[in-house]
Amino acid sequence: MTIYLPGDVVNEPSSSDSSIIGYGINVRGETKVASQPGVYRSDEGKMWLNVHSKRYIPQEGDRVIAIVTSKTGDFFRLDIGTAEYAMVNFTNFEGATKRNRPNLKTGDIIYASVFDTTPRTEAELTCVDDEKRARGMGQLNGGFMFNVSLNHCRRLIHPECKILQTIGKFFKFEITVGMNGRIWMNAAGVDDIIKIHDVIVKSEFVKEDDELINLVQNGYTRSVSD
């Protein structure tokens, strides 16, 4: 596991046959040069660097958690943590028609997917897939939202990561992870929300081993306050 700093030439043995160059690597002529600090990863013909960062840059296909800031005409204006605002057309919700508009107010949050990121314009999001079905997207009701870094979000939803599973052994909860560093979750009571929030935030710098189980166990048994 080697780290690449910006300006390093990426010289991995599998790099010659990889066809898709991903995040963090630029191609200059014949050489592949890292442009962000990260650990090299490769999988099935794709190569990229796993970068640690906190600020989201919109990518098509990402599922993000967006906060509604205003309503203008046919669009809702959203904040997804990027430089420009994002927007979603009110027809891009499941079951929405011209008469039946989604009832969102300022401060509500939705889970949507990015489908258009033309530079210098607002990113456009949608809450339905091509067949007009929600597939888990749409408004998130109740619960609690908080921020973590982007790499932690990616780690949480990785199939081999055991953090959420371990938490699930002790708590009953539901969770949605946005690629823009925002996590929404709902649990039985305020106590549980506070404990799970603490565990998820602290697990960012804990490796996947016994330390993790200890962390979750301590979180479960710790009392919130008297």
Partner 1 sequence: MVGRLREMRCEVSFLKNADGSASFSQGATCVWASCSGPGDVHASKANEEAMTLDVSYRTNCGDNKFHELNNIIQSTLSKAINLELFPHTSAAVTIHGIQDDGSIGAVALNGACFALLDNGMPFETVFCGVLVVRLKDELIVDPTAKQEAASTGRVLFSICRGSDGGPEVCSMDAIGPWDFEQLEAAWCYAQPSARAIFDFYRNVMQRKHSVDEQ
Partner 2 sequence: MRLQPLTICEKAVITEALKSGKRFDFRHLEEFREVRLIVGAEVGTAICSIGNTKVMAAVSAHIAEPSPMRPHKGVINIDVDLSPMANYANEHDRLGSKGMELIRLLELIIRDSRCIDVESLCIRAGKEIWKIRVDVRVLDEDGSLLDCACLAAITALQHFRRPNVTLEPHHTLIYSEYEKAPVPLSIYHMPICTTIGLLDKGQMVVIDPTDKEAACLDGSIVVACNKRKEVCALHQSTNLVLSTKQIERCVKLAMSRAEALTVVVSDVIKQDQKERSAYKRPEGFAITVPELILTAGTAAARQLHPDVKEEPMEEETRQPRAYQPSVILN
CB of 106 to partner 2, least distance (A): 8
Q: Considering beta carbons, is residue 24 or 81 the nearer one to partner 2?
A: 81
Q: How far is residue 226's CA from residue 217's CA, in Å, rounded to a whole number?
A: 19
CB neighbour list of residue 59: distance below 8 Å, 6 or more residues apart: 114, 117, 179
Q: What is the DSSP letter of 155?
A: H
Which residues from 127-146 bind partner 2, rule CB under 8 A? 140, 142-146
Residue whose tokens read 């390093």: 8
94 binds partner 1 (CB under 8 A): no
Of the two residues 100 and 214, which places its CB atom closer to partner 1 in the complex?
214
The label of the residue with tokens 């990785």 reads: 158
Task: Output 33 or 194, the one with its CB closest to partner 2.
Answer: 194
The minimum distance between CB 217 and partner 2, in angstroms, equals: 16
Torsion angle of C-alpha atoms 147, 148, 152, 154, degrees rounded to 10: 30
Lookup: tokens for 40: 């090299």
99 or 207: whose CB is closer to partner 1? 207
- Give the nearer residue to partner 2 in terms of CB position, either 9 or 224: 224
Whether the Cβ atoms of residue 39 and residue 2 lie closer than 8 Å to each other: yes
Segment interacting with partner 2 (CB under 8 A) among 14-22, 86-94, 104-112, 162-170: 104-112
**Based on CB atoms, which residue is closest to partner 2, 88 or 140?**
140
Token code pair at residue 55: 């600020």
Residue corresponding to tokens 């609690």: 144
Residue 112 near residue 88 (C-beta atoms within 8 A): yes
- How many helices and strands, by DSSP H and E, does the chain display? 4, 15
User: Which region, judged by CB under 8 A, interacts with partner 2, from 16-24, 29-37, 38-46, 193-201?
Assistant: 193-201
Under DSSP, is residue 191 helix (H, G, I), strand (E, B) or coil? helix
Out of 12, 108, 116, 129, the only residue in the binding site for partner 2 (CB under 8 A) is: 108
Given 44, 83, 105, 226, the residue binding partner 1 (CB under 8 A)? 83
Instruction: Return the residues of window 139-168 that contact partner 1 according to CB under 8 A.
Output: 150-151, 155, 160
* Interaction site with partner 2 (CB under 8 A): 67, 69, 79, 81, 83, 105-109, 140, 142-147, 184, 190-191, 193-194, 197-198, 205, 222, 224-226
